[in-house]
Structure 1
Amino acid sequence: MGLAGVIIAFTKLFPDSASMQWLEHQMHHVEWHGLTHHDTIFPLFLFIAGISFPFSLDSQRRYGKSNKDINLKIIKRGITLVLLGIVYNGFFQLDFENIRYASVLGRIGLAWMFSALLFVRFGTRTNLAISILLLVGYWLALWLIPNANDPYSFEDNLVGTVDRLLLPGKLIYGSFDPEGLLSTIPAIAMSMFGMFTGKWIQMPIEQYSEKKKISYMLAAAALLIIIGYIWSLQFPINKKLWTSSFVCVVSGISLILFSLFYYIMDVKGYTRYALFFSVVGLNSITIYLAQEIVPFSKVSNYFLGGIIRFLPDTYGLLLGNIGYFTVCWLFLYFLYKKKIFLKV
């Protein structure tokens, strides 16, 4: 929604500051191995989608829906997200040979769908075993199957081989796609970790106090991060490959962030500033799609372009990004006030 652009523009005001250079670096994805703050945003959405499912599942069961009905709804939602991702990538240009079929929304849709189907079918222990099996199996597949000196390199990895063989249309990096087919496997485990978190939050307060729930979540987060970094010594942290070490580390980070906001808003009841986040969170898919369709930058420039022309370049860049971010948020606020929400 442009917040990263605002932060980057702000750092340009202090070109000689090492801390600002570090902050700017965090607003970009790493080229290959490694991790920045920007690399955690997409996985966090998948993790949060997982957290919400146990609550949705309980609600559906209270209304008497059978597992068959629930599973059909899960599959419908997953396929809808895949289709919306294709629309985002330019479906209406009708250039079917060169369209990119993999997408961020498609990754969320498929990973969430498969994890939700497993969550409905099996218990927590079985699903935990499946999640571990998916992460370990993905690692072994990438490590042992390719005949290459570096099976985790950009040029030669199993993920790209599978995408080139099975994924139609355009691959965003030519040789492979970061939201392709094989790398969906570890993303299923990440979504499942979110579902475990949602189920944990549902535990009766008589059995586990809120303080104990948060303590256990933070302990689990620390364990995941430690496992991820140890694993990265052999299986590097890599968002584009969605390596198992990446999943462990970003799941831990997501769990820490969730614990923090859960404590502030649900336990302590500090919801005064929740509206700002709710406006975005309740229509996150809407703004993701709208930024590809609606010329928010033109709206911002219509009101601020005159002022920007008289400002130094760095200050003009900052004001332009603030304007873009504000227009996007006001668009969502209008939908919020009208109770218009895109639900999939």
Structure 2
Amino acid sequence: MKNRLLSLDVLRGLTIMLMTVVNNPGDWGHVYAPLLHAEWHGYTPTDLVFPTFLLIVGVSVVLAMPHKRWNSDTLLKIAIRTLRIFCLGWFLFFFSKIQLPGLEGPTLLLGRLAIMAILAWALFSEYEKKYQFYVAVGTFLLMILLAFGGFDAYETVRIPGVLQRIAMVYGLIAVLYLRTSWQVQAVVGVTVLLLYWGLMTLIPVPGVGQANLEKGTNLAAWLDYTLLPGHLWASAKTWDPEGILSTLPALGTGIAGLLTGTLLRTPSLTGPQKARYLLLAGLGGIVLGSVWHIVFPINKALWTSSYVLVAAGWALVVLSGLYYWIDVKGSKGWTLPFVVFGVNPMLVFFFSGIIPRILSAIPVHTNGKSVSLQHYLYSDLLAPQFSNPMNASLAWALLYLAFWGLIVWVLYRKGVVVKV
């Protein structure tokens, strides 16, 4: 396909595969440490997944808009895509909270699925762009109304999230890319990282006292709880890992993707030179981030500036190897399993989040009790086959990945690419 880079599709596919595995263990109480996020400061391989995807978003902006056309049609496309991604993210959180008068159990689930199908049809049908925009704005405003309109069913629905952060970063860096040079983008990237460092370490926290980086008492947590009370991450309730203030350094991750994309599109550089510069940039990011960690700890939940550098660094190191191996040396025969995931990432992310919600809503009667289909499939059928619960939990995640692998392989063979 036009403007596609095979190594980037492979990295995107690898990222979405890892995201699927880490988000869907059989039992959250039994997960191998590398597949969990760091408790607070520091990082694990799992903490590198989301920022890698966000960096890829930045690279894709450059590849998708090589001519930098600043016009109403381009801006409309950016706005539509931003709103669609926002709405997808919100629908993941709204889905299980939808209440329909007179419906419960399986009929309520069918009603929720029907609403999802209608919204999907309205949001993603191909018709005149201005009407696509109106539908996206309408859906966005409807969810805002439900969340903040005093409706009991939605008073605790989460507002921030992974797709919401992707939408924000995509919309902002797409405009930044169209209107500025790579030098200005680099300055903006450095500025937001330094600004966030200053805000988080110098500004006193209202009602708490001195600036700090602890759970629930830092400036980012205060802002989340002040502006979005009741609408935050259920595991914390007083702060959100994809919160408002931490979206600022996340822009730095997206800008790193813009600079990477610009490097990859530089015609004066040879393939080996590009791979070398990617590797050097990646190693530089890891070193600088590790040094910055001394005074501003690497922390995924806070998306600290040091975390931005280290995560982008590792992503660039991997991309440099893939780019050299695949696009320079032409080693492509092994890439298909990753490519099939890489060309339909939003489809996998969204529906791999919806399916567990559906399985959890379907009751199964077994051994004299009623459990969810999700519980029955894992606890009654799969887990007893393993003596080690950690292996059972991992096996469920890998089987779920294989399930999605079959779906995206069929879509790839049929040439179906779901665009958001």
TM class by shorter chain equals: 0.7 to 0.9
TM-fit CA distance, 1:125:
1.0
Q: 2:382 and 2:92 mapped to 1: Cα distance?
A: 33
1:32 to 2:45 alignment? no
Q: Which residue of the other structure, out of 126, 139, 146, is the alignment partner of 2:204?
A: 146
SS of the counterpart of 2:41? coil
Q: 1:6 and 1:175 mapped to 2: Cα distance?
A: 24
Q: 2:85 and 2:163 mapped to 1: Cα distance?
A: 5
1:269 to 2:330 alignment? yes
Q: Which residue of the other structure, out of 400, 408, 412, is the alignment partner of 1:336?
A: 412
Q: Which residue of 1 aligns with 2:66?
A: 58
Show structure 2 runs of 5+ residues with no match. 1-16, 99-152, 360-372
TM-fit CA distance, 1:92:
6.2
Distance 1:316 1:213, change over 3 A: closer
Q: Which residue of 2 aligns with 1:48?
A: 56
Show structure 1 runs of 5+ residues with no match. 13-20
1:279 to 2:355 alignment? no
TM-fit CA distance, 1:82:
1.2
TM-fit CA distance, 1:342:
2.2
1:178 to 2:196 alignment? no
Distance 1:221 1:308, change over 3 A: closer
1:83 to 2:84 alignment? no
Cα offsets for 1:78-98 (capped at 9, x unmatched)? 221111110011246243211
Cα offsets for 1:42-68 (capped at 9, x unmatched)? 111001111111111126x5xxx5433
1:289 to 2:350 alignment? yes
TM-fit CA distance, 1:69:
2.3
Provide the alpha-carbon RMSD of the alignment: 2.9
Letter in 2 for 1:115: I
Distance 1:57 1:307, change over 3 A: closer
Letter in 2 for 1:113: G
TM-fit CA distance, 1:226:
1.4
Q: 1:230 and 1:311 mapped to 2: Cα distance?
A: 43
Distance 1:248 1:69, change over 3 A: same
Task: Point out the more displaced range, 41-50 or 281-290.
Answer: 281-290
Identity across matched positions, percent: 32
SS of the counterpart of 1:160? helix
Distance 1:159 1:333, change over 3 A: same
Q: 2:50 and 2:333 mapped to 1: Cα distance?
A: 26
> Which protein has greater RCO, CA pairs closer than 8 Å, 6+ apart?
2
TM-fit CA distance, 1:318:
5.4
SS of the counterpart of 1:58? coil
TM-fit CA distance, 1:221:
1.3
Q: Which residue of the other structure, out of 398, 403, 409, is the alignment partner of 1:327?
A: 403
Q: How many residues matched?
A: 326
TM-fit CA distance, 1:293:
2.3
Q: 1:136 and 1:189 mapped to 2: Cα distance?
A: 10
Maintained 8 Å contact 1:135/1:189: yes
Q: 1:217 and 1:243 mapped to 2: Cα distance?
A: 22
SS of the counterpart of 1:294? helix
Q: Which residue of 2 aligns with 1:73?
A: 77
Distance 1:164 1:3, change over 3 A: closer
Maintained 8 Å contact 1:135/1:186: yes
Q: 2:180 and 2:93 mapped to 1: Cα distance?
A: 35
TM-fit CA distance, 1:140:
0.3
Letter in 2 for 1:215: R
Cα offsets for 1:197-224 (capped at 9, x unmatched)? 01101111xx222111111111111211
SS of the counterpart of 2:65? helix
TM-fit CA distance, 1:316:
5.3
Q: How does 1:233-252 map to 2 (within 5 A)?
A: 233-252=294-313
Q: Which residue of the other structure, out of 12, 18, 21, is the alignment partner of 1:3?
A: 21
1:222 to 2:240 alignment? no
TM-fit CA distance, 1:3:
3.4
Task: Point out the more displaced range, 134-143 or 84-93.
Answer: 84-93
Q: How does 1:153-192 map to 2 (within 5 A)?
A: 153-167=214-228, 169-172=230-233, 173-192=236-255
Q: 1:140 and 1:308 mapped to 2: Cα distance?
A: 48
Cα offsets for 1:151-178 (capped at 9, x unmatched)? 1111311111111222364211211111
Maintained 8 Å contact 1:163/1:180: yes
TM-score (norm 2): 0.71
Maintained 8 Å contact 1:232/1:245: yes
1:198 to 2:202 alignment? no
Question: 4+ residue stretches of structure 1 with deviation over 6 A?
Answer: 5-9, 296-299, 305-308
Q: Which residue of the other structure, out of 121, 125, 130, is the alignment partner of 2:179?
A: 121
Task: Point out the more displaced range, 34-43 or 282-291.
Answer: 282-291
Distance 1:121 1:310, change over 3 A: closer
